[in-house]
């Protein structure tokens, strides 16, 4: 009898220790948790999937059946919470992490020890890329992160690198007009920099912002695919091989010199045209100033003639007398 009582007391103690004490857990502020029962994640009511969430809007139609994950019940920070022995808690940190885009989580020595990512441009030039990626776990798709992919961070970084390399290999700068109209002369002149269009390194360096925006847009589907949000990608440097750098620097120097000469010549031509226009305006105003008194005098004489023929003769006599008064010598024609 005592043995049976001891067994019962032992089982009760084990039950209290295993269920009550070891079944209590908490979730930190920067964590989220998912509960599994017999290995199956607890779903939200209604059997909703990720296709019912806004994160699926970035998926293409053919991708939606492939990434159709169930929505699981997310345990928010706090506690204490309680779980039964047949239940397990999977905790995930949702803190934002920053890594070098050249980092290979499976092989840290790759890509020059994770410091420089190589990519090939459209003109077969092997370039080195440097930059950073900020990412965090998507609370809206914890199922994909915990159960859909074995190594989600490795998978997401590999996806980012593949998209970036494809973009570098096919990148073309936006078409720019080859000529612009001079404001002064109205003639077409070549734009500074237009002669450099088509050199892949220069195109990439001038359009780093567009490249970063493209990568952000392409990675909008990462939460629905892998349960990881790529907050931002910042490509900071695009460097050609050392043997090409000197030649590229010489090309850029010549380009800058040509652009400077074109700008100076255009400015000098515009200045001459403006000066010529001003000279014409000045001479026109002078001619108008000389013509206006004659027109005014003609108008006055016309008014005097309308008043009567004798008044115009008196006016002419008075004008002659005023001229005779100012003259020092007078020559009169005598009729024979």
How many angstroms separate the CA atoms of 142 and 150, rounded? Answer: 13
Query: Is the CB of residue 140 less than 8 Å from the CB of residue 116?
Result: no
Mean pLDDT score, 136-158 = 86
How many angstroms separate the CA atoms of 191 and 189, rounded? Answer: 6
Token pair 């992490």 is found at 97
Token representation of residue 192: 């500074």
Residue ranges of domains in the chain, CATH in brackets: 10-171+207-240 (3.30.479.30)
b/e sequence 301-330, b meaning 16+ C-beta within 10 Å? eeeeeeeeeeebeeeeeeeeeeeeeeeeee
Confidence of residue 195 (pLDDT cuts 50, 70, 90): very low
Q: pLDDT of 63-85, one tens digit each?
A: 888 888 898 898 898 878 888 88
Nearest to 240 by CA among 195, 198, 205: 205
Q: What is the DSSP string of 178-213?
A: SEEE-TTT--EEEPTTGGGTT-HHHHHHHTHHHHHH
What number of CA atoms fall less than 13 Å from residue 285's CA on the CB side? 6
Handedness of CA 144, 150, 155, 156 (dihedral sign): positive
Q: pLDDT of 278-308, one tens digit each?
A: 888 888 888 888 888 778 877 877 777 777 7
Nearest to 127 by CA among 174, 168, 170: 168
How many angstroms separate the CA atoms of 188 and 88, rounded? Answer: 74
Nearest to 198 by CA among 125, 256, 119: 125
Mean pLDDT score, 132-149 = 87
Mean pLDDT score, 250-256 = 66
Of the listed ranges 65-69, 182-186, 270-274, the one predicted with least confidence:
182-186
Three-point CA angle 122, 123, 125, nearest 5°: 100
How many angstroms separate the CA atoms of 195 and 170, rounded? Answer: 20
Confidence of residue 200 (pLDDT cuts 50, 70, 90): low
The fraction of the chain above a pLDDT of 70, given in percent, is: 81
Phi and psi, residue 233, nearest 5°: -125, 130
pLDDT of 178: 46
pLDDT of 20: 66
Nearest to 112 by CA among 103, 120, 121: 103
How many angstroms separate the CA atoms of 187 and 194, rounded? Answer: 17
Query: Is the CB of residue 106 less than 8 Å from the CB of residue 154?
Result: yes
Q: pLDDT of 111-127, one tens digit each?
A: 878 778 888 887 777 78
Q: Who wins on pLDDT, 95 or 173?
A: 95
**Which of 136-150, 225-239, 253-267, 284-298 shows the highest mean pLDDT?**
136-150
Q: Return the DSSP state at 47.
A: -
Token pair 């000469």 is found at 261
Q: At what angle do helices 208-218 and 152-170 cross, to 10 degrees?
A: 140
Q: Who wins on pLDDT, 2 or 98?
A: 98
Q: Is the pTM of this model over 0.75?
A: no
């Amino acid at each position: 009898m005592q043995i049976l009582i001891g067994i019962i007391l032992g089982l009760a103690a084990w039950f209290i220790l295993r269920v009550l004490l070891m079944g209590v857990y908490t979730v930190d502020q920067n964590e989220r948790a998912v509960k599994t029962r017999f290995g199956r994640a607890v779903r939200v009511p209604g059997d909703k999937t990720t296709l019912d969430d806004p994160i699926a809007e970035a998926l293409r139609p053919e991708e939606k059946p492939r990434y159709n994950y169930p929505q699981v019940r997310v345990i928010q920070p706090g506690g204490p919470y309680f779980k039964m022995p047949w239940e397990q808690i999977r905790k995930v940190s949702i803190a934002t992490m920053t890594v070098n885009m050249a980092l290979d989580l499976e092989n840290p020595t790759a890509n020059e020890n994770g410091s420089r990512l190589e990519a090939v441009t459209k003109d077969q030039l092997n370039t080195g890329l440097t930059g950073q990626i900020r990412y965090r776990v998507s609370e809206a798709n914890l199922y994909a992160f915990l159960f859909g992919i074995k190594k989600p961070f490795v998978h997401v970084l590999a996806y980012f690198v593949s998209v970036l390399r494809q973009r570098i290999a096919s990148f073309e700068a936006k078409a720019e007009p080859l000529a612009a109209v001079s404001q002064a002369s109205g003639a077409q002149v070549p734009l500074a920099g237009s002669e450099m269009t088509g050199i892949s390194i220069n195109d990439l360096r001038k359009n780093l912002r567009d490249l970063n925006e493209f990568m952000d847009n392409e990675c909008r589907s990462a939460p629905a695919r892998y349960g990881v949000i790529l907050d931002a990608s910042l490509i900071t440097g695009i460097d050609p091989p050392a043997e090409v750098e000197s030649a590229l620097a010489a090309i850029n120097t010549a380009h800058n010199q040509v652009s400077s000469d074109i700008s100076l010549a255009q400015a000098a031509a515009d200045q001459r045209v403006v000066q010529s226009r001003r000279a014409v305006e000045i001479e026109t105003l002078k001619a108008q100033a000389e013509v206006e008194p004659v027109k005014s005098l003609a108008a006055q004489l016309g008014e005097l003639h309308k008043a009567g023929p004798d008044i115009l003769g008196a006016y002419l006599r008075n004008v002659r007398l005023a001229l005779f008064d100012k003259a020092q010598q007078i020559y009169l024609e005598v009729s024979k």
